[in-house]
Chain A
Amino acid sequence: MLERIRRHWVLYVLIAPILIYFCAFLFYPMAQGIYLSFQKAGLLGPVGFIGLENYAKVFSTPMVWQAIWNTLILAAGITILGVILPIIPAIALVQVVPDWLKRSLQTIIYTPYLFSFVIIIGIWLNTLSPIGLVNTVLLETGLISQPITFFSDPFWARPMVIGLTVWKDMGFHALIYLAALLSLSPDILEAADIDGANDFKKIRDIILPHLMPMIKVVFLITLLGSLRTFDSAFLMLNGRTADQIRTLAIFTYERGILNFDLGVASAAGVVLLAVSLLIAGLARLFLRNEEDEVRNA
């Protein structure tokens, strides 16, 4: 054993800086966050242990409950739509026969995934402005009589965050599904044809079950990502929409960085971590149980 360790010393030297990096910039901040959440924050740093006082303050702030609620609603919307909707373009892409057309459509639909939310919101700010494309069309067809102020109407705040996030991820998720669809054996579909199954039945009984493992993967990735929603909501946050889309991540930023209330902000951060670990754990448990049931059946 010692001989093997000695023989591999170069490898340890190679991996050491990487492990030190993870300790210094991930585990240490994490520990620091938990430590700070139990400390009274002073101007120059923590000034003493105050037990659960920061947590008490966090849970007695109505804005925090609103932020938790907003986070959950946004996460639910983003996850449900972001998992289900991309199945449609994925199946549709398989139908496209000319290869060049298929590849072009794939490329175009995937593109928004590369854009930052700053760019995405900039693009849609133009198209959805009161004098922009969408309002012009809606006004001229007589569907609305007043232009909709998508970016400053509290009613539209959550649908906008959800919609733009789902739009950004649509191509990414669709291509994950597409890759899974391409591994579906044509023989099975041919057999279904011979049995006289129509397209609806093929989708329901063959394609969707085949996609199920990937749907679960996308579900978990999307759920975890959406619980941490920051960029999209932060950029759309203004006086009128704040109460609808201020997420827990945004609250910790406002408290910690802008107001420099490190204790309360850290406690809110720990709450966010706990909520996301809890939900992720439940989701995993739920998915696993279902898998077992399928296996037992």
Chain B
Amino acid sequence: MLKGRAVNVISYIVLFALAAMMIVPLWSVLATSFSTKFGSLQPGVILWPSTFSLEGYDTLLRRLDFLLPFANTMYVTMLGTGLHVLLSAVAGYVLIQEDLPGKKIIAGIILLTLTIPTQVILVPLFVVFKQFGLLNTLFSLIVSELVSAFSILLMKTYFEQVPKSMIESARMDGAGHFKLLMDFYLPLALPGFATVAAFQIVHKYNLFIEPLIFINDPQKITLQIALQSVILGESSTSTNDFIAPNVTMAAIVLALVPLLIFYPLMQKYLISGLTVGGVKE
């Protein structure tokens, strides 16, 4: 695109510097996590564990019971994403119907929700969840973004690309709404489903404010909250001992593993979705 030598050199420098800003800290986290407690407390940069040890992971899993928040987060992520995708698809399907009386009103209500951000209604949301008896349940985290206008609009965009003639002829053959959705829209708009799911998985996995506010019960704590207490050293372990960096870094590594497995598989959808979403705004 650009021809100059200077531009090329600068481009590579910028990109490699940015990549290094990602890789070097992450590498250091990994190296520290495999250090001994003593090793991780040494001053200087740890780019390789001086003595290889699984002490950090051991403390984390055995003494801090890190698997429970993991399981809770997995439950919320999977069930939450499943329901979110299902409901977004249903709403998207309703919005592409051409001769539906009242469609404008339905679309208007959905668009209006875009103006209400969670962070702004934190306190009333807490009150309402209390009224519905949802406080201190993992279900509250599934309810808190059960369906969103953003996902509905994304599904609608993908559904609109399914050829109308094909749907029309299927309808002539007597296909009902359920059959149309399952046999035509699901396979033909699969990238749409994958995109909504990918974004929702990341969103649910990273939930922070919602569990912070809605959940008090240590049995129902989620990964990000457990991670926060380990990282900021507020862990409520019975033993009042100090959490060394090797334990903290081991917690980060464990929390990153599912994301880093998931990312390459879903990367295509995470990127295609952002351009579709970006154009829509």
Q: Are B3 and A92 in contact (CB under 8 A)?
A: no
Interface stretch of the complex, out of B59-67, B98-106, B160-168, B182-190: B98-106
Q: Are B119 and A230 in contact (CB under 8 A)?
A: yes
**Could you tell me the distance in whole angstroms from the C-beta of B278 to the nearest C-beta in chain A?**
5
**Could you tell me the distance in whole angstroms from the C-beta of B111 to the nearest C-beta in chain A?**
11
Name which residue of chain A comes closest to B252, CB basis. A122
Q: Are B121 and A30 in contact (CB under 8 A)?
A: yes
**Could you tell me the distance in whole angstroms from the C-beta of B269 to the nearest C-beta in chain A?**
13
Please classify how large the interface on chain B is, using the bins under 10, 10 to 19, 20 to 34, 35 or more. 35 or more
Q: Is A100 an interface residue (CB 8 A)?
A: no
- Most chain A CB atoms below 10 A, which of B12, B123, B264: B123
**Could you tell me the distance in whole angstroms from the C-beta of B231 to the nearest C-beta in chain A?**
4
**Could you tell me the distance in whole angstroms from the C-beta of B98 to the nearest C-beta in chain A?**
11
**Could you tell me the distance in whole angstroms from the C-beta of A85 to the nearest C-beta in chain B?**
10
Bitwise, A8-19 to B at CB < 8 A (1) or not (0) is: 101100110111
How many Å lie between the Cα of A133 and that of B31 in the bound state?
13
Q: Is B255 an interface residue (CB 8 A)?
A: yes
Q: Are A269 and B209 in contact (CB under 8 A)?
A: no
How many Å lie between the Cα of A256 and that of B231 in the bound state?
25
Please classify how large the interface on chain A is, using the bins under 10, 10 to 19, 20 to 34, 35 or more. 35 or more
Sampled A-B contacts (22; CB under 8 Å) = A14-B93, A29-B121, A32-B124, A36-B127, A92-B14, A107-B263, A116-B206, A119-B252, A122-B227, A123-B252, A131-B42, A133-B24, A186-B1, A199-B6, A217-B278, A221-B281, A230-B209, A235-B232, A255-B123, A256-B126, A269-B120, A269-B122
- A interface residues (Cβ-Cβ under 8 A, vs B): 1, 4-5, 8, 10-11, 14-15, 17-19, 21-22, 24-30, 32-33, 36, 88-89, 91-96, 105, 107-112, 114-119, 121-127, 131-133, 136, 167, 170, 172, 175-176, 179, 181, 184, 186, 189, 193, 198-199, 202-203, 207, 214, 217-218, 220-221, 224, 228, 230-231, 235, 249, 252-253, 255-257, 262, 265-266, 269, 272-273, 276-277
- B interface residues (Cβ-Cβ under 8 A, vs A): 1-4, 6-8, 10-12, 14-16, 18-19, 21-26, 28-29, 32, 42-45, 87, 90-91, 93-94, 97, 99-102, 106, 109-110, 112-113, 115-117, 119-128, 132, 143-144, 146-147, 152, 176-177, 202, 205-206, 208-209, 213, 224, 227-228, 231-232, 245, 248-249, 251-252, 255-256, 259, 263-264, 267, 270-271, 274-275, 278-279, 281
Known: A24-B132, A25-B146, A32-B127. 18 other contacts (CB 8 A): A14-B90, A19-B106, A22-B109, A24-B128, A29-B128, A91-B2, A107-B264, A115-B206, A116-B205, A122-B252, A123-B26, A126-B32, A127-B25, A179-B274, A199-B6, A231-B208, A235-B228, A257-B122
